[in-house]
Structure 1
Amino acid sequence: MKVLDLKCAHEHRFEGWFASADEFESQLARKLVACPVCSATDVSRMPSAPRLNLSSARGDAPAPAQPPHAAPEAAALQARALQFMRELIEKTENVGERFAEEARRIHYNEAPARNIRGVTTPEDAHALLEEGIEVMQLPVPASLKEPLQ
């Protein structure tokens, strides 16, 4: 089993587990390796020090020290962002493509007030803002759109 340090084009760092280096290259070429934060498939391998457990062979040599994690602050920030997104998804109603219509109905008291999320065009979002309806663009990572295994 190969454990690789990876990063996407947006500098999100993550770990990938593959049966072999060839399997990683095969999956990468087929765009099957995706960032768990933003779903980007433009992924590259990060340099990492191999861990060679030779102490059992020689009996006296200590195992090499593991390098410190490259960016613990970034990992913690990603974890907090994913937790925020999970809570947002749990506490809002997905109205899908009807977002602009439903936001207007709520704003003009034609529908019950509630927290909603959905999809709209940039033009519709701008029109909502001009009407005084507060909206916020928040891209949801694809990994949160599916149930977690």
Structure 2
Amino acid sequence: MIKYALTCEHDHGFEGWFGSSADYDDQQARGLLECPLCASKAVRKQIMAPALAGTRRTVQDESTAPVREMMMEAMGRIRRHVEENFDDVGDTFAREARAIHEGKSEQRGIYGQATPKEVRELVEDGVPVAPLPPEPPKKTELN
């Protein structure tokens, strides 16, 4: 089986599975291919990189393991620093961050929870925010 990334004349992207390259060519020539979104028959293959199996990825994964471990440790240190030195304002984070930014509340480091909508609004209004790194997985939870 071959999977092709396809697109129609309206740039709707979708994929199609074919028994062979010749099957794709045959269906295309007979007008059997159709966009599932707009029913356009003007369908063409998109450029895509082939998926190749091999051992190179395993070698790369092994060589990047020390870097990944170092990054996980650094993120854990950042999280611990924030939790030990900043005020946890819980689900009032967005309101409190805005109040600090506007000078209506005392200037201090805070952390807490906010919805994606609240974060977007804070960023749009120029309030500096950043996500807190996730808790690192426990060594017993790793593969």
TM-score scaled by structure 2? 0.46
Q: TM-score, normalised by structure 1?
A: 0.45
